[in-house]
Each structure stands twice: as structure tokens, then as C-alpha cells.
Amino acid sequence: MIPEERLHLRRLLLVVDDQKINQDLLGTILGNEFDLIYADGGREAIDQVMLHKDMLSAVLLDLVMPEMDGFAVMDVMKADEELARIPILVLTAEKTAELEALGRGASGFIPKPFESHEIILARVRSFVELAEGRRLIHAAECDPRTGLYTKEFFFSYAEQIERFHPDWRMTEFALRISRYRLLRELYGQEFLDSVSRALAQHLMENAKAAQGICARASEDTYYLFLRRGCVGLEQIRRLQQELNTLREHMDLRLDAGMCDIERSEMDVRRRFSCAEAACAMVHQDHNGELVVYDSVMHEKQLYRQRLINDLPRAVAEHELKVYYQPKYDITKDTPVLSGAEALVRWQHPEFGMIPPGDFIPLFEQNGLIGRVDLYVWEESARQLQKWREQFGTRFPITVSVNVSSMDIHMPGLEEKLNRLVDTYGIRPEELHLELTESAYMEDARLMQEVTDHLRSMGFRIEMDDFGAGYSSLNMLSTLPVDVLKMDMMFVRRLSREDSREYRFIEIVHDIARMLDIPMIAEGVEDAVQLELLKKIGCEYIQGYYFSPPVPAEAFEEMMKGALR
């Protein structure tokens, strides 16, 4: 610690006394260590406090003064939030006045007549240091903008509550101001601070009523630890309405997460992490403003985290299995096997065969899907090489692989695909690349640059899930593609010729024919759909009517059967 003498720090004290002799005496005692300013009465004292409030370390205040006494000064200071933080050391000869002075905000006393100089100096020095220590603790304990507990102090108090009241049933809530950074850009930090203070006031009232505590965990997130009461949807919506009155035409929303896990299962910090995780799910998998994190959700989160942790091993040990769903050419009288779409499955040593719906969206959210895609591309290229060696030109086959929006941003994408072609001796046109509309919407310019380059290298581009979104036609007009894949939701509802689905698919096929590109219909499940698609003129289909995705060995048997 740097010694005070080297820093030349001198605290500022205000001495308030109508007796000049007392001012001079205290100046003599304290002047070598402190800077002092003086006031002869209560009104002048208030003026000096207002003028120097940011620098004052303490006020030494006489009680008995004409016009405005010391008690009145304390009342004024106590009523003002900023002035109430300045400690007051009362100068008094009346022992009976001490109790009243404490009730009005006094922090300590110097008795009159004054004691020895050394005792007074030691008393004031100790008092100032103690008061500053308390202010430092308060600064670390409380968020300066809202007055709520900081995150670490909140957890300390929450742990004490649980330690001393093991029978209390507590509930953990996390509240988040939705789109906080956007609101800051629109309205400015000063206005957001006023919103935070208003929200904090409501939360403190709620916590007090529910025998709980609350904290500002981050700039946009708040914690509540409550014994009684509940922050339900009604309370959240009412609070939103009140906050939105702070500014006209403001649409402020609060997301809320609640943890419903027994304290015996995890400590308070982890429970609040769960509450905050639930808060983040409001805009992911749920439609409401409040998400409850319970044991079922916890098991799901643990399962998802296990999948994330196990992915490197799954790639290294080939737990990921590539299945192939056949595509059929239906332009002839009898459907002819013409290609396949590569789809990944996970044979987990503990969980068994994991459906792709469990891990594909998860890895897309966590940025890991690129590792899965690279694995599928490699396995598909290796399989294409094997089939070429086995069947030669008797059965020219193509395999379609999925390319996610994350893959488009992958450094060296073209080089990676080119390496596969060179390593396994296949032609680029044998490996079709399926791109979804969502990838296009994220960065249309980059998508066009990348696809133009890939097509120039010989790869064929398939537009997957066509018709699922609003920008499909715009995408088709700006992004050159070689194959159009009709979204399966339209095909699955296709049941008769006079239906909307039939007309929509017919229009899409007309567009594809005008652009001179073939169309693939996914999700074909029965003979009626097959016949309706043939009548429309659709060139290719895939779906469970012919076959689900199958392992490479089973697909190979299909190829052998097609050659017979």
C-alpha cells in the first residue's frame, strides 16, 4: 500500500460551530493532518455542504446554534440522498442529546469541553478512516447506478440466508431487459440508467415484500432471491407497462427465467445460472416472457452439454455414421435410382442412436456444425470413390451434402472441397452441395461470390427447402443454382389435384423449367403423391415411399439391384 504521506492526501472536514474559539481550537488540533473549512451556523453549513459534497470526508457539527441548530442540519442532510452519505461527528456537551442525534443521522461524538489534543485527533482520524472504509464497502457492495447489490455480494448474502434458514423455501429469478444494447443506441445511456433505477426500485419493493434480496448482475440482468411471492407473467407485464411510460412510444420488454430446482441438488450460484439460462431461452425455444428451469430442463441441458463435449471423440472414433437417402428419377415409366442425399446419424456408446434433431440444431447454435459437415463431406467423398471403383461407369452416382451458413464463412472452403476431390479421385460434379435459404439471407453477397466460384470449379449447387421462406424467389433470381429442392412441407400435404399445394408445386416447377433446372421433391410418402408429382412434371423425388436414409451397405445393395 502506498503511504499517505507520499500521495499528499488530505481529507476535507467541515467544522460547524458558532463559537469562534471552538473553530480555532479544532483548527489547531486538526489542521496539520486535515484541510478544514468553517461555518458559523446551520444555514451556512448547508451551503458549504452543498458546495463541497463530493470532497467532504466528514462534518463536525455543533448542536446548539442560533437560527438553525445542528438537529435541523442533520434533518436536511438525511433527507437528501447524496448528503446523507456524508458522515456527521457531533460536538456536544449534553449526554441526553446523543440518542436523538443518532436517530437523526449522527455517526459519532466529540464531547465538550474538548479532551486532550491527541485524543481528539485520534478520534477524528479513526472516525474518518472507518467512514471511508464503510463507503468503500458500500461501493463494492452496491451497484452505483441502481443501489442494488452487486453480483458477488448478492451471492454472499444469499448463501448466508440459506445457511441460517435451511427451512426457508426460496425461489430464484433472473430478469433481463430485452434488446438492451439496441435501446441504448436509440435512447442513450442516460435514459437507460433512468430505466434501470426505476426497475431497481420496483424490484427492491418486491424483494422487501417477499422477504428476499435483489441484485444487478450485469448491465441488463437482475436477480431476485425471494422467500414469499412470485414474479409471474402478470407482474412482469405490469412492470413493463410502467417502465414504458418513462418515454413515449418505447417498447421495452422484460425476459424472465425462474429456477425450480431443489437447493439439495445444486448450490445457489448454479441455480441462478439456471435461472439466467432460462431467461435466455425466452427467444429461443419458447414464446412467453417467463421460462421455468426445472429438473426436466436441467437433464436436457446436461444431455446437450454432453453431446457438445463428446463431439470431438465422435469425429475421431467415427461414431458419426453417414446414411444415404435414395433419389429417384421419375421421368420414365419406372422410377430409376439416380443419386442420394448424405445424412448424418450418431451412434453414441452410451445413448445409442441419437436422432439428428437432437444434435444438428444444437451444433448450429454453438458453431460446431462445420466439424460435422466436414466429416460428412469426407465420408461421402470416400464412399463415392469406393462405389466408382466397384461399379465403374455402369452406375454413375451423385451424392448431395449439406452446406450450412457457417460453412460459407469457413476459411478455405473451396480449398477443403478441392482437396476432397483430389484425395479421392472423384469429379466435382459427383458431389452436389445443398444450400439453404437461411444461409443466403445471412449474407447474400458472400453467398453469390462463393457459389459462383464453386460452380466454376465444377460443383453443382442445389437450393434446399425452396418455398420455406419469403426470399426464395429473390434468391433464385440472384443466385445461380443447378437443382431446385421443393420443401417437404408442401409435398407432405399434397393429396389431390385441386389442392393449393398442387397448384403451388406446379408454379414452382414452371419456374424451374423456365430456368432450365430440374426439381427434386422431398418427403414423398405414398403413391398418390408420386402420381401427382409425375403429372406436374417433377423430375426427381426422395422420401419414405421408396426408402428412408440407409447405411452405405444397404444403399450399395440398392445400386446392385438397379443394375440387375
Q: How confident is the model at residue 331 (pLDDT cuts 50, 70, 90)?
A: very high
C-alpha cell at 413: 472452403
For residue range 215-261, list pLDDT tens digits in order: 999 999 999 998 866 666 777 777 878 887 877 777 788 888 889 88
83 against 457, higher pLDDT: 457
The mean predicted confidence, pLDDT, of the chain is: 86
Q: Which residue, among 145, 153, 227, has the nearest Cα to 190 in the 3D structure?
A: 145
100 Cβ partners below 8 Å, 6+ apart?
A: 71
Phi and psi, residue 241, nearest 5°: -60, -45
For residue range 370-391, list pLDDT tens digits in order: 999 999 999 999 999 999 999 8
Q: Which residue, among 167, 165, 171, 168, has the nearest Cα to 230 in the 3D structure?
A: 171
Rounded to whole angstroms, how far apart are CA atoms 451 and 42? 80
Question: What's the whole-model pTM score?
Answer: 0.66
For residue range 134-165, list pLDDT tens digits in order: 665 555 678 888 888 888 888 888 888 888 88
What is the per-residue pLDDT for 46? 92
Rounded to whole angstroms, how far apart are CA atoms 489 and 206? 47
195 Cβ partners below 8 Å, 6+ apart?
A: 177, 183, 243, 246, 252
Give me the percent of the chain exceeding a pLDDT of 70: 91
What is the per-residue pLDDT for 8? 42
Asked if residue 512 lies in contact with residue 519, where contact means CB atoms within 8 angstroms, the answer is yes
The runs of H, that is alpha helices, within 165-232 are 180-187, 189-209
Give me the residue label for grid cell 484425395: 423
Most confident range, picked from 75-79, 127-131, 207-211: 75-79
What is the per-residue pLDDT for 10? 76
Ordered by where they begin, the domains of the chain are: 4-141 (3.40.50.2300), 151-293 (3.30.70.270), 311-480+548-563 (3.20.20.450)
Look up residue 139 and give its amino acid: A
Four-residue CA torsion sign, 42, 48, 51, 57 = negative
Rounded to whole angstroms, how far apart are CA atoms 335 and 445? 38
* Three-class SS state of 312: helix
Task: Say which DSSP state 351 is in.
Answer: T
What contacts 24+ positions apart, CB below 8 Å, involve 535-538? 535/497, 536/502, 536/505, 536/506, 536/509, 537/509, 537/513, 538/330, 538/486, 538/505, 538/509
Average pLDDT over residues 499-516: 89
Rounded to whole angstroms, how far apart are CA atoms 142 and 273? 20
Neighbours of 478 (CB within 10 A): 13
Asked if residue 338 lies in contact with residue 395, where contact means CB atoms within 8 angstroms, the answer is no
For residue range 421-467, list pLDDT tens digits in order: 999 999 999 999 998 766 666 677 788 888 889 999 999 999 887 76
Average pLDDT over residues 62-71: 87
Rounded to whole angstroms, how far apart are CA atoms 186 and 289? 23
Rounded to whole angstroms, how far apart are CA atoms 336 and 342? 18
Asked if residue 279 lies in contact with residue 292, where contact means CB atoms within 8 angstroms, the answer is no
What is the per-residue pLDDT for 231? 65
Rounded to whole angstroms, how far apart are CA atoms 112 and 413? 85
Q: Which residue, among 326, 357, 343, 323, has the nearest Cα to 544 in the 3D structure?
A: 326
Exposed/middle/buried for residue 194 (C-beta within 10 Å: 0-12, 13-18, 19+)? middle
Average pLDDT over residues 283-295: 74
Q: Which residue, among 517, 504, 520, 447, has the nearest Cα to 478 in the 3D structure?
A: 447
Q: Which residue, among 307, 466, 315, 327, has the nearest Cα to 377 in the 3D structure?
A: 315
Residue 253 Cα to chain centre, angstroms: 15
CA 466, 469, 473: angle at the middle one, nearest 5? 60
Q: Which residue, among 198, 189, 291, 283, has the nearest Cα to 244 in the 3D structure?
A: 198
Rounded to whole angstroms, how far apart are CA atoms 542 and 317? 30
Q: How confident is the model at residue 288 (pLDDT cuts 50, 70, 90)?
A: low
Rounded to whole angstroms, how far apart are CA atoms 12 and 132? 12
Rounded to whole angstroms, how far apart are CA atoms 285 and 483? 32
For residue range 160-218, list pLDDT tens digits in order: 888 888 888 888 999 998 888 888 888 889 988 988 999 899 888 888 888 888 999 99
What is the per-residue pLDDT for 4? 38
State the greatest distance between any 2 C-alpha atoms of the chain, in Å, as a whole number: 120
Average pLDDT over residues 104-129: 82
Number of helices and strands (H, E) in the chain?
Answer: 23, 20
